[in-house]
Amino acid sequence: MRILGIDPGYATIGFGLIEGERAQYRMVTYGAITTPAGLPLSKRLYQIDRDMEELIGQLKPDAISVEELFFNTNITTGIAVAHGRGVLLCAAERCGIPLFEYTPGQVKMAVTGYGKAEKRQVMDMTKRLLKLAKTPRPDDAADALALALCHARSSTSRLPQIKPEKETV
Protein backbone atom coordinates (compact mmCIF):
# COMPACT_ATOMS: atom_id res chain seq x y z
CA MET A 1 0.00 0.00 0.00
CA ARG A 2 1.21 3.48 -0.89
CA ILE A 3 0.02 6.20 1.48
CA LEU A 4 0.46 9.90 0.82
CA GLY A 5 0.38 12.04 3.94
CA ILE A 6 -0.49 15.72 3.47
CA ASP A 7 0.11 18.49 6.01
CA PRO A 8 -2.26 21.23 4.77
CA GLY A 9 -1.41 24.88 4.39
CA TYR A 10 -1.34 27.64 1.82
CA ALA A 11 2.29 28.81 1.98
CA THR A 12 3.89 25.40 2.62
CA ILE A 13 2.12 22.07 2.13
CA GLY A 14 4.10 19.11 3.41
CA PHE A 15 3.85 15.74 1.70
CA GLY A 16 5.29 12.34 2.46
CA LEU A 17 4.79 9.02 0.71
CA ILE A 18 5.33 5.71 2.48
CA GLU A 19 4.97 2.20 1.17
CA GLY A 20 4.53 -1.06 2.99
CA GLU A 21 2.48 -3.84 4.48
CA ARG A 22 1.94 -5.38 7.91
CA ALA A 23 3.79 -2.85 10.08
CA GLN A 24 6.80 -2.77 7.74
CA TYR A 25 6.92 0.66 6.17
CA ARG A 26 9.51 2.58 4.26
CA MET A 27 9.71 6.19 3.18
CA VAL A 28 9.52 6.62 -0.58
CA THR A 29 9.75 10.41 -0.81
CA TYR A 30 8.86 13.59 1.00
CA GLY A 31 8.98 17.32 0.47
CA ALA A 32 6.88 20.44 0.33
CA ILE A 33 4.80 22.38 -2.13
CA THR A 34 5.33 26.10 -1.63
CA THR A 35 3.61 29.19 -2.94
CA PRO A 36 5.16 32.68 -3.19
CA ALA A 37 4.21 35.05 -0.36
CA GLY A 38 3.39 37.93 -2.71
CA LEU A 39 0.69 36.13 -4.67
CA PRO A 40 -3.00 36.76 -3.94
CA LEU A 41 -4.65 33.87 -2.08
CA SER A 42 -6.69 32.86 -5.15
CA LYS A 43 -3.53 32.38 -7.24
CA ARG A 44 -1.86 30.45 -4.41
CA LEU A 45 -4.87 28.13 -4.16
CA TYR A 46 -4.86 27.59 -7.92
CA GLN A 47 -1.14 26.71 -7.80
CA ILE A 48 -1.72 24.30 -4.90
CA ASP A 49 -4.48 22.58 -6.87
CA ARG A 50 -2.31 22.17 -9.97
CA ASP A 51 0.75 21.04 -8.00
CA MET A 52 -1.26 18.56 -5.90
CA GLU A 53 -2.90 17.00 -8.94
CA GLU A 54 0.52 16.63 -10.57
CA LEU A 55 2.02 15.16 -7.37
CA ILE A 56 -0.80 12.61 -7.02
CA GLY A 57 -0.34 11.64 -10.67
CA GLN A 58 3.40 11.12 -10.21
CA LEU A 59 3.28 9.28 -6.86
CA LYS A 60 0.16 7.18 -7.52
CA PRO A 61 -0.89 6.67 -3.89
CA ASP A 62 -3.52 4.11 -2.85
CA ALA A 63 -4.74 6.41 -0.07
CA ILE A 64 -4.27 9.97 1.14
CA SER A 65 -4.09 10.94 4.80
CA VAL A 66 -4.79 14.59 5.71
CA GLU A 67 -4.71 16.37 9.04
CA GLU A 68 -7.96 17.85 10.31
CA LEU A 69 -7.67 21.53 11.11
CA PHE A 70 -6.98 22.70 14.62
CA PHE A 71 -7.50 26.40 15.21
CA ASN A 72 -5.19 27.91 17.77
CA THR A 73 -5.10 31.66 18.30
CA ASN A 74 -4.67 33.14 14.80
CA ILE A 75 -8.08 32.75 13.15
CA THR A 76 -7.02 34.70 10.02
CA THR A 77 -4.21 32.25 9.27
CA GLY A 78 -6.55 29.37 10.11
CA ILE A 79 -9.06 30.50 7.52
CA ALA A 80 -6.40 30.69 4.79
CA VAL A 81 -5.14 27.22 5.79
CA ALA A 82 -8.73 25.97 5.62
CA HIS A 83 -8.97 27.29 2.04
CA GLY A 84 -5.76 25.44 1.16
CA ARG A 85 -7.03 22.27 2.83
CA GLY A 86 -10.25 22.48 0.82
CA VAL A 87 -8.28 22.64 -2.41
CA LEU A 88 -6.26 19.58 -1.31
CA LEU A 89 -9.44 17.63 -0.56
CA CYS A 90 -10.90 18.52 -3.96
CA ALA A 91 -7.70 17.48 -5.77
CA ALA A 92 -7.75 14.08 -4.02
CA GLU A 93 -11.41 13.59 -4.90
CA ARG A 94 -10.87 14.60 -8.53
CA CYS A 95 -8.03 12.08 -8.78
CA GLY A 96 -10.23 9.35 -7.28
CA ILE A 97 -7.95 8.59 -4.32
CA PRO A 98 -9.58 7.53 -1.03
CA LEU A 99 -9.09 10.25 1.57
CA PHE A 100 -8.77 9.79 5.34
CA GLU A 101 -8.68 12.56 7.93
CA TYR A 102 -7.01 12.46 11.34
CA THR A 103 -6.86 14.86 14.26
CA PRO A 104 -3.48 15.90 15.66
CA GLY A 105 -4.20 13.73 18.73
CA GLN A 106 -4.88 10.67 16.57
CA VAL A 107 -1.59 11.20 14.72
CA LYS A 108 0.33 11.53 17.99
CA MET A 109 -1.33 8.40 19.41
CA ALA A 110 -0.67 6.32 16.29
CA VAL A 111 2.98 7.36 15.98
CA THR A 112 4.10 7.68 19.62
CA GLY A 113 1.44 5.84 21.60
CA TYR A 114 0.61 9.02 23.50
CA GLY A 115 -2.08 11.41 22.26
CA LYS A 116 -0.50 14.46 23.87
CA ALA A 117 3.07 13.87 22.69
CA GLU A 118 5.21 16.87 21.84
CA LYS A 119 6.08 17.68 18.24
CA ARG A 120 9.73 16.65 18.67
CA GLN A 121 8.61 13.24 20.02
CA VAL A 122 6.41 12.67 16.97
CA MET A 123 9.24 13.68 14.65
CA ASP A 124 11.71 11.39 16.45
CA MET A 125 9.34 8.40 16.32
CA THR A 126 8.58 9.06 12.64
CA LYS A 127 12.32 8.96 11.96
CA ARG A 128 12.70 5.73 13.95
CA LEU A 129 9.68 3.94 12.51
CA LEU A 130 10.77 4.71 8.96
CA LYS A 131 14.45 3.93 9.76
CA LEU A 132 15.62 7.33 8.50
CA ALA A 133 19.14 8.65 9.14
CA LYS A 134 17.83 12.11 10.04
CA THR A 135 14.57 13.89 10.79
CA PRO A 136 12.90 15.02 7.57
CA ARG A 137 12.89 18.75 6.83
CA PRO A 138 10.95 20.95 6.52
CA ASP A 139 8.77 20.21 9.56
CA ASP A 140 5.72 20.15 7.27
CA ALA A 141 7.19 17.14 5.43
CA ALA A 142 7.92 15.35 8.72
CA ASP A 143 4.32 16.02 9.78
CA ALA A 144 3.09 14.61 6.46
CA LEU A 145 5.11 11.40 6.97
CA ALA A 146 3.60 11.10 10.47
CA LEU A 147 0.14 11.44 8.89
CA ALA A 148 0.94 8.66 6.43
CA LEU A 149 2.15 6.45 9.30
CA CYS A 150 -1.01 7.26 11.24
CA HIS A 151 -3.17 5.98 8.42
CA ALA A 152 -0.97 2.93 7.89
CA ARG A 153 -1.25 1.98 11.55
CA SER A 154 -4.94 2.90 11.87
CA SER A 155 -6.08 1.17 8.69
CA THR A 156 -4.56 -2.15 9.77
CA SER A 157 -5.99 -1.98 13.29
CA ARG A 158 -8.76 -4.45 14.06
CA LEU A 159 -10.40 -2.08 16.55
CA PRO A 160 -12.70 -0.28 14.07
CA GLN A 161 -13.74 -3.65 12.63
CA ILE A 162 -14.84 -5.18 15.92
CA LYS A 163 -18.54 -4.65 16.50
CA PRO A 164 -19.88 -4.61 20.04
CA GLU A 165 -22.08 -7.52 20.99
CA LYS A 166 -25.77 -6.81 21.22
CA GLU A 167 -27.07 -6.29 24.69
CA THR A 168 -29.76 -8.63 25.88
CA VAL A 169 -32.43 -7.49 28.26
Residue from 38, 29, 26 nearest 129 by CA: 26
Q: What is the pTM of this model?
A: 0.88
- Contacts with 113 (C-beta within 8 Å, 6 or more apart), sequence order: none
- Give pLDDT tens digits for 3-20: 999 999 999 999 999 998
Q: Give the residue numbers annotated as catalytic, written as ranges.
A: 7, 67, 140
- Contacts with 148 (C-beta within 8 Å, 6 or more apart), sequence order: 3, 4, 5, 16, 17, 18, 65
- Give pLDDT tens digits for 80-134: 888 999 999 999 999 999 999 999 999 999 999 999 999 999 999 999 999 999 9
